[in-house]
Amino acid sequence: MEIMVNGFSKSIARWEIKKATELFGDLVLDARRIRSTVVAIDIRKMPKFKTERGMHVFQGYCFPVVSKKKPKKFVILLNNDMTKRETIKTLAHEMVHVRQMRLNILQGMGKKRHRWFGRIVDENEEEYHKLPWESEAMLCEEPMYQHYRQCMKKTNGPARPNHENPNQSSQRHLRAGAKLKDRRLRGL
Ligand SMILES: [Zn+2]
Protein backbone atom coordinates (compact mmCIF):
# COMPACT_ATOMS: atom_id res chain seq x y z
CA MET A 1 0.00 0.00 0.00
CA GLU A 2 1.32 3.38 -0.91
CA ILE A 3 0.80 5.74 2.02
CA MET A 4 1.46 9.46 2.09
CA VAL A 5 1.05 11.53 5.23
CA ASN A 6 0.90 15.31 5.16
CA GLY A 7 0.16 17.91 7.79
CA PHE A 8 0.98 18.01 11.47
CA SER A 9 -0.50 16.83 14.76
CA LYS A 10 0.93 17.69 18.18
CA SER A 11 -0.04 14.31 19.61
CA ILE A 12 1.36 11.87 17.04
CA ALA A 13 4.23 11.79 14.55
CA ARG A 14 3.63 11.29 10.83
CA TRP A 15 5.68 8.07 10.75
CA GLU A 16 3.48 6.59 13.46
CA ILE A 17 0.33 7.43 11.53
CA LYS A 18 1.92 5.75 8.52
CA LYS A 19 2.76 2.67 10.60
CA ALA A 20 -0.80 2.48 11.93
CA THR A 21 -2.20 2.83 8.40
CA GLU A 22 -0.02 -0.11 7.29
CA LEU A 23 -1.22 -2.25 10.18
CA PHE A 24 -4.85 -1.38 9.49
CA GLY A 25 -4.37 -2.01 5.78
CA ASP A 26 -3.24 -5.55 6.66
CA LEU A 27 -6.42 -6.00 8.71
CA VAL A 28 -8.98 -4.71 6.24
CA LEU A 29 -7.61 -5.69 2.81
CA ASP A 30 -6.19 -8.80 1.18
CA ALA A 31 -2.62 -8.88 -0.16
CA ARG A 32 -3.57 -8.12 -3.76
CA ARG A 33 -5.64 -5.09 -2.84
CA ILE A 34 -3.03 -3.87 -0.36
CA ARG A 35 -0.50 -3.72 -3.21
CA SER A 36 -2.78 -1.71 -5.46
CA THR A 37 -4.24 0.74 -2.94
CA VAL A 38 -3.04 4.30 -2.39
CA VAL A 39 -3.95 6.27 0.73
CA ALA A 40 -3.10 9.96 1.11
CA ILE A 41 -3.60 11.22 4.65
CA ASP A 42 -3.93 14.89 5.42
CA ILE A 43 -3.79 16.01 9.07
CA ARG A 44 -5.48 19.38 9.24
CA LYS A 45 -7.93 21.70 10.88
CA MET A 46 -11.38 20.31 10.18
CA PRO A 47 -14.63 22.17 9.62
CA LYS A 48 -17.41 22.35 12.18
CA PHE A 49 -20.86 20.98 11.65
CA LYS A 50 -24.16 21.45 13.39
CA THR A 51 -26.30 18.74 14.94
CA GLU A 52 -29.31 18.76 17.23
CA ARG A 53 -26.89 18.48 20.16
CA GLY A 54 -24.77 21.47 19.14
CA MET A 55 -21.66 22.18 17.13
CA HIS A 56 -19.12 19.45 16.46
CA VAL A 57 -15.84 19.24 14.60
CA PHE A 58 -15.29 16.53 12.01
CA GLN A 59 -12.74 14.04 13.34
CA GLY A 60 -12.07 12.28 10.09
CA TYR A 61 -13.29 11.96 6.56
CA CYS A 62 -12.55 9.50 3.78
CA PHE A 63 -13.31 9.75 0.08
CA PRO A 64 -12.04 8.16 -3.13
CA VAL A 65 -9.92 10.39 -5.36
CA VAL A 66 -12.05 9.46 -8.35
CA SER A 67 -15.58 8.34 -7.66
CA LYS A 68 -15.91 5.28 -9.78
CA LYS A 69 -16.49 1.60 -9.23
CA LYS A 70 -13.78 -0.05 -7.13
CA PRO A 71 -11.70 3.06 -6.46
CA LYS A 72 -8.05 2.45 -5.57
CA LYS A 73 -6.90 5.86 -4.39
CA PHE A 74 -8.28 7.44 -1.27
CA VAL A 75 -7.87 10.59 0.73
CA ILE A 76 -8.27 10.48 4.52
CA LEU A 77 -8.60 13.76 6.37
CA LEU A 78 -7.78 13.71 10.08
CA ASN A 79 -8.50 16.45 12.58
CA ASN A 80 -5.16 17.86 13.80
CA ASP A 81 -6.59 18.63 17.23
CA MET A 82 -7.10 15.13 18.63
CA THR A 83 -5.27 13.04 21.20
CA LYS A 84 -3.12 10.16 19.96
CA ARG A 85 -5.81 7.65 20.92
CA GLU A 86 -8.53 9.60 19.12
CA THR A 87 -6.32 9.97 16.06
CA ILE A 88 -5.57 6.24 15.81
CA LYS A 89 -9.20 5.29 16.41
CA THR A 90 -10.37 7.76 13.78
CA LEU A 91 -7.78 6.41 11.35
CA ALA A 92 -9.05 2.87 12.03
CA HIS A 93 -12.60 4.04 11.36
CA GLU A 94 -11.62 5.66 8.06
CA MET A 95 -9.64 2.58 6.98
CA VAL A 96 -12.84 0.53 7.36
CA HIS A 97 -14.43 2.97 4.88
CA VAL A 98 -11.43 2.42 2.58
CA ARG A 99 -12.22 -1.29 2.71
CA GLN A 100 -15.92 -0.74 2.06
CA MET A 101 -15.23 1.38 -1.01
CA ARG A 102 -12.25 -0.66 -2.26
CA LEU A 103 -14.43 -3.79 -2.22
CA ASN A 104 -17.29 -1.87 -3.80
CA ILE A 105 -19.56 -2.65 -0.87
CA LEU A 106 -20.17 1.07 -0.46
CA GLN A 107 -20.59 3.45 -3.37
CA GLY A 108 -21.37 7.14 -3.23
CA MET A 109 -24.17 8.18 -5.58
CA GLY A 110 -24.19 11.92 -4.96
CA LYS A 111 -26.67 14.04 -3.02
CA LYS A 112 -25.93 12.08 0.16
CA ARG A 113 -27.21 8.86 -1.36
CA HIS A 114 -25.16 5.69 -1.17
CA ARG A 115 -25.36 2.15 -2.40
CA TRP A 116 -24.65 -0.37 0.38
CA PHE A 117 -24.60 -4.02 -0.67
CA GLY A 118 -26.66 -2.98 -3.68
CA ARG A 119 -29.31 -1.24 -1.57
CA ILE A 120 -29.79 2.53 -1.89
CA VAL A 121 -29.50 4.31 1.46
CA ASP A 122 -30.27 7.99 1.84
CA GLU A 123 -28.14 9.72 4.49
CA ASN A 124 -30.87 12.27 5.08
CA GLU A 125 -33.32 9.62 6.17
CA GLU A 126 -31.15 7.82 8.71
CA GLU A 127 -29.31 8.91 11.83
CA TYR A 128 -25.52 8.99 11.38
CA HIS A 129 -24.73 6.15 13.78
CA LYS A 130 -27.43 3.97 12.22
CA LEU A 131 -25.97 4.21 8.71
CA PRO A 132 -24.71 0.65 8.14
CA TRP A 133 -21.24 1.66 6.91
CA GLU A 134 -20.85 3.94 9.93
CA SER A 135 -22.00 1.42 12.51
CA GLU A 136 -19.59 -1.13 11.00
CA ALA A 137 -16.70 1.37 11.13
CA MET A 138 -17.55 2.34 14.71
CA LEU A 139 -17.65 -1.32 15.76
CA CYS A 140 -14.11 -1.83 14.43
CA GLU A 141 -12.50 1.26 16.02
CA GLU A 142 -11.69 -0.16 19.45
CA PRO A 143 -10.46 -3.65 18.43
CA MET A 144 -8.30 -2.13 15.68
CA TYR A 145 -6.89 0.39 18.14
CA GLN A 146 -6.10 -2.41 20.61
CA HIS A 147 -4.40 -4.36 17.82
CA TYR A 148 -2.29 -1.32 17.01
CA ARG A 149 -1.31 -0.91 20.68
CA GLN A 150 -0.31 -4.55 20.99
CA CYS A 151 1.82 -4.34 17.87
CA MET A 152 3.56 -1.21 19.12
CA LYS A 153 4.20 -2.82 22.51
CA LYS A 154 5.70 -5.94 20.98
CA THR A 155 8.11 -3.91 18.90
CA ASN A 156 9.21 -2.08 22.09
CA GLY A 157 7.24 0.78 20.69
CA PRO A 158 6.92 3.35 19.80
CA ALA A 159 9.75 1.99 17.70
CA ARG A 160 10.45 3.28 14.25
CA PRO A 161 9.24 0.90 11.57
CA ASN A 162 11.82 -1.36 10.00
CA HIS A 163 10.43 -2.45 6.65
CA GLU A 164 13.70 -3.85 5.35
CA ASN A 165 14.01 -6.63 7.93
CA PRO A 166 10.62 -7.97 8.89
CA ASN A 167 11.41 -10.04 11.96
CA GLN A 168 9.57 -12.96 13.44
CA SER A 169 7.53 -10.78 15.71
CA SER A 170 6.11 -8.77 12.83
CA GLN A 171 5.12 -12.06 11.19
CA ARG A 172 3.26 -12.90 14.39
CA HIS A 173 1.46 -9.55 14.21
CA LEU A 174 0.36 -10.26 10.68
CA ARG A 175 -1.06 -13.62 11.75
CA ALA A 176 -2.80 -11.95 14.70
CA GLY A 177 -4.12 -9.35 12.26
CA ALA A 178 -5.43 -12.06 9.95
CA LYS A 179 -7.26 -13.64 12.87
CA LEU A 180 -8.76 -10.33 13.89
CA LYS A 181 -9.75 -9.70 10.28
CA ASP A 182 -11.50 -13.06 10.20
CA ARG A 183 -13.27 -12.46 13.44
CA ARG A 184 -14.32 -8.88 12.95
CA LEU A 185 -14.74 -8.44 9.27
CA ARG A 186 -15.74 -11.79 7.86
CA GLY A 187 -18.74 -11.72 5.58
CA LEU A 188 -18.97 -7.95 5.22
ZN1 LIG B 1 -17.46 7.13 9.09
Kindly state whether residue 107 falls inside one of the protein's structural domains. Answer: yes
For the whole model, what pTM was predicted? 0.81
Kindly state whether residue 171 falls inside one of the protein's structural domains. Answer: no
Domain count, the chain: 1
How many angstroms does the Cα of residue 11 sit away from the middle of ligand 1? 22
Give residue 164's pLDDT.
46
The 8 Å CB, 24+ separation contacts for 45-53 are 45/79, 45/80, 45/81, 46/77, 46/78, 46/79, 46/80, 46/81
List, for residues 7-45, the tens digit of each pLDDT value. 999 999 999 999 999 999 999 999 999 999 999 999 999
Give residue 167's pLDDT.
47
How many angstroms does the Cα of residue 139 sit away from the middle of ligand 1? 11
Kindly state whether residue 12 falls inside one of the protein's structural domains. Answer: yes
Kindly state whether residue 139 falls inside one of the protein's structural domains. Answer: yes
Kindly state whether residue 166 falls inside one of the protein's structural domains. Answer: no
Query: What CATH number did the domain enclosing 73 receive?
Result: 3.40.390.30
Of residues 48, 51, 61, 56, the one with CA closest to residue 93 = 61
Do residues 39 and 21 touch, judged by C-beta distance below 8 A? yes
Kindly state whether residue 28 falls inside one of the protein's structural domains. Answer: yes
How many angstroms does the Cα of residue 44 sit away from the middle of ligand 1? 17
How many angstroms does the Cα of residue 75 sit away from the middle of ligand 1? 13
Give every residue of the chain whose pLDDT is below 50, as ranges: 164-167, 169-170, 173-174, 182-188
How many angstroms does the Cα of residue 167 sit away from the middle of ligand 1? 34
Kindly state whether residue 181 falls inside one of the protein's structural domains. Answer: no
How many angstroms does the Cα of residue 162 sit away from the middle of ligand 1? 30
Give residue 187's pLDDT.
35
The residues near 172 (Cβ < 8 Å, ≥ 6 apart) are: 154
Give residue 54's pLDDT.
85
Give residue 134's pLDDT.
95
How many angstroms does the Cα of residue 17 sit away from the middle of ligand 1? 18
User: Tell me, what amino acid is at 108?
Assistant: G
Kindly state whether residue 179 falls inside one of the protein's structural domains. Answer: no
Do residues 155 and 149 touch, judged by C-beta distance below 8 A? no
Domain that holds residue 117: 2-156
